[in-house]
Amino acid sequence: RVKKRQSQLDKESVFEWFGLHLNPAKRIEFMCGLLHMCQPLELRFLGSYLEDLARKDYHVLRDFEFRANSPSDLGVLTDVVDPVIRSKLLVCLSLLGSDSRECAGILFRILSHADSMYGDSEEDCGFSANDTAGGPLEQIALLFTMASLHPAFHFHQRQVVRELLDKIELAMEEGKRQRQRRSNVQATVMSNKPTLAHLNPKLILE
């Protein structure tokens, strides 16, 4: 009974960690990792389960799916700095078919150009290591994570995207460290500010 309770507690902890503490890119990466650990029959079952879940949104996403697999529609989504374009690219990668090689090639070229949009000229391009959660860099990380795992991309394309993703994640980590340093400095400044308790009433009254 104790083991059963412990197992249930661990499962709930995993659910909480997955739902509350992982960003979207890490959620997808974690789920894909779990799927790779499944047995063939488990994958077939999960495929049927996912197919049934996806069917519920089929009519809502049908038009978006058509555009996501249309080279002419994808070809105009080149400005990754534009938040609207980034959102559209996320939708397209989510709905891209596993055999849409041509569309994957277009997306690969778009994402490859994003590599020059952060780094030395972060402020000019709209990307910054200081972006908070949900900012441009995190959205770019999600795009690159999806592309690095998507079967429509060739192996060498996924490798290139993965290398670029590593650079983005380093920039995000540096941003976290900078925010933490600023937070520590602000906390130190606030703690050193004089309060009424530090004032000498005799000096004030004299």
At residue 118, does pLDDT exceed 60? no
Give residue 46's pLDDT band: very low, low, confident or very high (50, 70, 90).
Answer: very high
At residue 82, does pLDDT exceed 50? yes
Give residue 65's pLDDT band: very low, low, confident or very high (50, 70, 90).
Answer: very high
Contact status, residue 162 vs residue 148, Cβ threshold 8 Å: yes
At residue 71, does pLDDT exceed 50? yes
**Across residues 73-80, what is the average pLDDT?**
92
User: Which of these, 96, 54, 53, 57, lies nearest to 73 by C-alpha position?
Assistant: 96
At residue 53, does pLDDT exceed 70? yes
Percentage of the chain modeled with pLDDT above 70? 77
Distances from the Cα of 179 to the Cαs of 44, 165, 191, in angstroms?
A: 45, 21, 18
User: Which of these, 60, 128, 124, 48, lies nearest to 94 by C-alpha position?
Assistant: 60
Give residue 131's pLDDT band: very low, low, confident or very high (50, 70, 90).
Answer: low
Helices 136-149, 83-95: crossing angle, 10 deg rounding = 20
Contact status, residue 107 vs residue 89, Cβ threshold 8 Å: yes
The reported pLDDT for the residue numbered 160 is 95
Task: Give the least confident one: 11-15, 115-119, 177-181.
Answer: 115-119
The reported pLDDT for the residue numbered 62 is 92
The burial of 105, by beta-carbon neighbours within 10 Å (0-12 exposed, 13-18 middle, 19 or more buried), is given as: middle
At residue 134, does pLDDT exceed 90? no
- In the chain, count H helices and then E strands: 11, 0
The reported pLDDT for the residue numbered 147 is 97
Predicted TM-score (pTM) of this structure: 0.76
DSSP character for 17? I
Domain spans, the chain: 1-56, 57-180
